[in-house]
Chain A
Amino acid sequence: EADIYQTPRYLVIGTGKKITLECSQTMGHDKMYWYQQDPGMELHLIHYSYGVNSTEKGDLSSESTVSRIRTEHFPLTLESARPSHTSQYLCASSEQGPYNEQFFGPGTRLTVL
């Protein structure tokens, strides 16, 4: 079944740790996105990719980094987690073309102590 997956769903980690949030999609979409969402707030785009070896920063500045080595995989990494990184991170994907319907994963809720 075509879908978009995120792991872990919940992560509690100490300050200074390196973390990687995984995102995979089985829909063959070229475009992938990472959003950050604080509780009760809107989504802010932090990274996007239009294909393999293509990554761009989004509208909201983030200390995280991303990579796109395979079409289906778009991991997000924080080299040194801080409490200010506590948030929900949502991954999405869409087809190429002007009609930008995005499909979202379930999200990763990150808490940095």
Chain B
Amino acid sequence: AQSVTQPDIHITVSEGASLELRCNYSYGATPYLFWYVQSPGQGLQLLLKYFSGDTLVQGIKGFEAEFKRSQSSFNLRKPSVHWSDAAEYFCAVATKAAGNKLTFGGGTRVLVKP
């Protein structure tokens, strides 16, 4: 069965500093990979996705993620964090074997210090 691990429950970062959120997945083949962001009291918004091809993926709001097959990872990065980036971030995977249903990681809460 597919699974997703986000090792960091909370991350605090200063405004203007860089941010990296970790995501590891467990699945035999390459799954479809996603990063979503959830602001307080809101639904989820897709930041970026990876299906195949270039392993560095650009998303919205200045985010990017890199797929590393050898490490089964799909880490999310942003070079310079803004106060509005404070939110919960979820990594998710989907596989054909699971009928393309999404499996979510536990999420990482990002706090931004002024």
Contact = CB atoms under 8 A, between A and B. Distances in A.
Given A41-B107, A48-B101, A99 B51 contact: yes
A51 interface: no
Contact of A43 (B51, B100, B104): B104
A17 to B, nearest CB: 23
Contact of B44 (A6, A90, A99, A109): A90
B43 A42 contact: no
Interface residues of B, number: 24
Q: How large is the interface on A (under 10, 10 to 19, 20 to 34, 35 or more residues)?
A: 20 to 34
B107 A45 contact: no
Contact of B100 (A90, A98, A109): A98
A101 B43 contact: no
Interface string B5-40: 000000000000000000000000000101010000
A45 B32 contact: no
Given A40-B109, A90-B44, A107-B41, 10 more contacts: A42-B107, A99-B51, A100-B32, A101-B34, A101-B46, A101-B49, A104-B43, A104-B44, A104-B45, A106-B41
28 contacts: A4-B43, A33-B101, A40-B88, A40-B109, A41-B107, A42-B106, A43-B44, A43-B90, A43-B102, A44-B104, A45-B101, A59-B101, A90-B43, A90-B44, A98-B96, A99-B32, A99-B49, A100-B94, A100-B101, A101-B46, A102-B44, A104-B36, A104-B45, A106-B42, A106-B43, A107-B42, A107-B43, A109-B41
Interface of A: 4, 6, 33, 40-45, 48, 58-59, 90, 92, 98-107, 109
